[in-house]
Structure 1
């Protein structure tokens, strides 16, 4: 199905992919870095006969607007985009599914507007407050997150302008899991990454975020008081993820009392397309258990 554009209150526009019956329960899918609306394609194909499936290119990605100002990518504004999109599409309540940065936005929406959510599904995306605590206390996660400093470094901007995001990704992650993606899908992403405006927009998500990488020698800051999320939540975790370690699941019950964790051994960061059958099965079981079908 082709994309259509939805205008936001600040004048920016999101490109949106929709499928499934318009009168069915709604599922809103949020992709992560450095992908686009097709990141959840296998799950949409699995669910679209019974659910209204909606997948945007998030701000800065794909066919959506790419403002140049770093402040345009502050996490609260990005989470606001999700709620504005839901309002524009007439979604009073919906199931929210997010991977990577899309998962972080899903956590933010669940905290800010829990009354809008039927359920929450998060894949390889730690709860933001818990992630910061793990960064503060776990040397392995701090080392695994060193790429954040690279993406925030203005020294990469000339490379982004001349060559796009590809060389920076290779420097940060090596050839990475994306090389295992279907050729057509990867080809479309490579084309998008060559756009200098898109390349800068994608790294601006990191530059505008409140994530801090502490000095490894500094005393660890105490964890914040939990603000529990009451929404029924499924957490999917590829345990071979080298950027976000399974330690991010420790203590999750304090933040999300009603959660289910599905661990995916030998699966990396991009679990929705690296293990589509296992992910689809877990989502179907979770949605059935929570009477969402």
Structure 2
């Protein structure tokens, strides 16, 4: 059920339609929340409700999830296409200035692609449980064997998701959903979303980990590291520190789906990081005005 006061619309993304949800006053600074796998925009609802008291809050169903369109194949789910969708959302909801971005899981992974390739669109970025694949690819090459091994063990499911047929069968049979609920007390937004979203792993993991690009950004970044995350180790989450000059790391006591289990904490961290960026931006504008 859509929360009261939410404006719902469809916008044209990169060749398809996306379902977009807005809360709060559009005249205020905008915070965009991007969900991961196997979720839709609703994973952010508890956080959005708190942020909407002071911010213009936007969430959307990424391609292949929720009420958005579902292209077939792998290539439509590349990080470049996902970032193009995000750019289209920004054009629609905040055409006049940069926004504050927060992403969880694959929403954070695609957020990294966006802030590194179109940094001018963002005033800040909060990354939760979704490191940049390129950063991890570089980190794996130089990490201690024990740390790399721990991340490989935590990421066991990635290899499974890249197999043909079997992952689809696991989701459709209900087995994967039961295992997820038993381990995390979490369920996918739908079986259909879980099956479609497998293309994220198949399209992006091999090239980005195998041939990582240099991904740098001047956008102020906050990395939130849940201490009990079963899928992303702290060392992999903090690999970005090598590539981002303005970065802060927040370790929190939580599991992977912290936007649902501790929404008040996440709302506060996102808001505080955005407020710091707003203050820094205003101070910079004032300094430039004095110089002229």
Length-normalised TM-score, structure 1: 0.82
Aligned with residue 261 of structure 1, among 249, 270, 279: 249
Residue of structure 2 aligned with 1:154, choices 157, 161, 164: 164
Match of 1:164 among 168, 172, 177: 172
Give the superposition deviation at 1:149: 1.3
Aligned: 1:286 with 2:273: yes
CA–CA separation in structure 2 for the residues paired with 1:26 and 1:2? 14
Aligned residues: 269
Aligned twin of 1:34: 38
Tell me by how many angstroms 1:46 deviates.
1.5
Match 1:237 to one of 203, 206, 225? 225
Report Cα offsets for 1:55-74 as digits up to 9, x if no partner: 00000001111112221111
Q: CA deviation at 1:226?
A: 5.0
* 1:128 pairs with one of 117, 128, 133: 133
Secondary structure class of the residue paired with 1:176: helix
Distance 1:225 1:37 in 2: 29
Is 1:135–1:213's contact at 8 Å kept on the other side of the alignment?
Answer: no
Task: Name the structure 2 match of 1:74.
Answer: 78
Kindly indicate whether residue 228 of structure 2 is the aligned counterpart of residue 228 of structure 1.
no
Structure 1 pair 272–249 and aligned structure 2 pair: CA distance change class (3 A): same
The answer to whether the 8 Å contact 1:95/1:118 transfers is yes
**Over residues 169-217 of structure 1, what are the superposed CA-to-partner deviations in whole Å (9 max), with x where a residue is unaligned?**
445x5622244xxxxxx5xx55x22x3xx34311111111144698xxx
Contact 1:237 1:271 survives alignment (8 Å)? no
Q: Which 4+ runs in 1 deviate beyond 6 A?
A: none
Query: Structure 2: which 5+ residue stretches go unaligned?
Result: 1-5, 283-292
Deviation at 1:246, TM superposition (A): 0.6
Preserved contact between residue 132 and residue 212 of structure 1 (Cα < 8 Å): no
Report the Cα distance in structure 2 between the residues aligned to 1:204 and 1:251, rounded to whole angstroms: 25
Find out whether 1:208 has 2:184 as its counterpart: no
Correspondence 1:108 to 2:113? yes
8 Å CA contact 1:4–1:16 kept in 2: the answer is yes
Q: Which runs of 5+ in 1 are unaligned?
A: 180-185, 215-220
d(CA) in 1 for partners of 2:168, 2:262: 36
Distance 2:174 2:265 in 1: 29
Q: In the alignment, is residue 7 of structure 1 matched against residue 12 of structure 2?
A: yes
Show the counterpart of 1:60. 64
Q: Does 1:16 align with 2:6?
A: no
